[in-house]
Amino acid sequence: MKICVAGAAGAFGMKHLDALAAIDGVEVVSVVGGKLADIEALAAKRGVAHADKTLAEALARPEIEAVILSTPTQMHAEQAIACMKAGKHVLIEIPMADSLADSEAVVKTQQETGLVAMAGHVRRFNPSHQWIHNRIAAGELKILQMDVQTYFFRRTNLNALGQPRSWTDHLLWHHACHTVDLFQYQTGEAASEAFGLQGPKHPTLGVAMDMSIGMKVPSGAICTLSLSFNNKGPLGTFFRYICDNGTYIARYDDLYDGEDKKMDLAGVAVSSNGIELIDREFVAAIRDKREPNASVAQCLPAMRTLDRIERAMR
């Protein structure tokens, strides 16, 4: 399977290149995005045949079957639609768009083309969250409450590698999207209640730097999410699952019980790398001609909830 990675020189583009290298029968034949000299240097280093600044030339190449978009959020919807209209399957890094209208347009195009279109909701695939999901499916756990902290120190516009960004990140449509989708995925319900509060906007970045979100599903489970770009301390996202049969704390691909004892996740998945697992699902869905877990249609309810929260904060 021949794949193009757009935004390949960015922090998550690199993660996808590494992940794809671990999957049999997959070849990255094109990398796209950024300054031409940088993307050409990356292609030479990785042994990729084609490199270009823009996506259009890659989409015109008949050998490319699928595209992974690790490009700026504001480009996701337009590029995803262009990929599908060019006959390419597409995996869109989270979020699929930064508005409900654009998300609905992506889903509509997928339905019209019948191609595999998947959103990069990696929390569904992290072994820690998979373990919880499997216990819920087996009837062994029921979520009563999720308490989640998403904390960064990002007062300047830098990416995860500490490099300058050409776009501005967003607490709601990017970082909250992970938890909003995960809460609804784990409970199997769409939020019946959702609200948000946001602090002052950064004077130059123009985005809220602190945010609080609350959700409830019809069965009664609640979720409290705190987000900040002002946190100078441990960075990342930490999930506390308070259940009827135990408490569990997920830190990316690792899981701990309520007493902070690390749990054995051996056998949960073929890899402990969430990005690799999501790429494996994308490739498998294309090969099997089926809808993937985290298809854009499955992730649309999260975008609807984000839209409700955004409107509540206005």
**Can you say how many angstroms the Cα of residue 208 is from the centroid of all Cα atoms in its chain?**
20
**What pLDDT sits at residue 160?**
64
Range name among 104-113, 141-150, 165-174 with the lowest pLDDT average: 165-174
Query: Which one is predicted more confidently, 34 or 56?
Result: 56
**What pLDDT sits at residue 166?**
72
**What pLDDT sits at residue 11?**
87
User: CATH number of the domain at 124-268+302-313, out of 3.90.1150.10, 1.10.1060.10, 3.40.50.1100, 3.30.360.10?
Assistant: 3.30.360.10
Q: CATH 3.40.50.720 region(s) of the chain?
A: 2-122+275-293
Q: What are 200-249's pLDDT values in tens digits?
A: 999 988 999 999 999 999 999 999 999 999 999 888 999 999 999 999 99
**What pLDDT sits at residue 219?**
97
Average pLDDT over residues 142-166: 85
Closest CA to 125 of 301, 265, 18: 265
Q: How far apart are CA 96 and CA 78, in angstroms?
A: 10
Per-residue pLDDT at 15 exceeds 90 = yes
**What pLDDT sits at residue 250?**
97
Range name among 90-104, 114-128, 145-159 with the lowest pLDDT average: 145-159
Cβ of 236: how many Cβ atoms within 10 Å?
Answer: 11
**What pLDDT sits at residue 157?**
78
- Are 285 and 292 contacting, i.e. CB atoms less than 8 angstroms apart? yes
**What pLDDT sits at residue 261?**
97
Q: What are 248-306's pLDDT values in tens digits?
A: 999 978 999 999 999 999 999 999 999 999 999 999 999 999 999 999 999 999 999 99
Q: What is 2-122+275-293's CATH topology?
A: Rossmann fold (3.40.50)
24 band by pLDDT with thresholds 50, 70 and 90: very high
**What pLDDT sits at residue 109?**
98
**What pLDDT sits at residue 161?**
66
**What pLDDT sits at residue 154?**
85
Q: CATH 3.30.360.10 region(s) of the chain?
A: 124-268+302-313
**What pLDDT sits at residue 309?**
97
Handedness of CA 187, 189, 190, 193 (dihedral sign): negative
77 band by pLDDT with thresholds 50, 70 and 90: very high
Per-residue pLDDT at 165 exceeds 90 = no
Average pLDDT over residues 62-67: 98
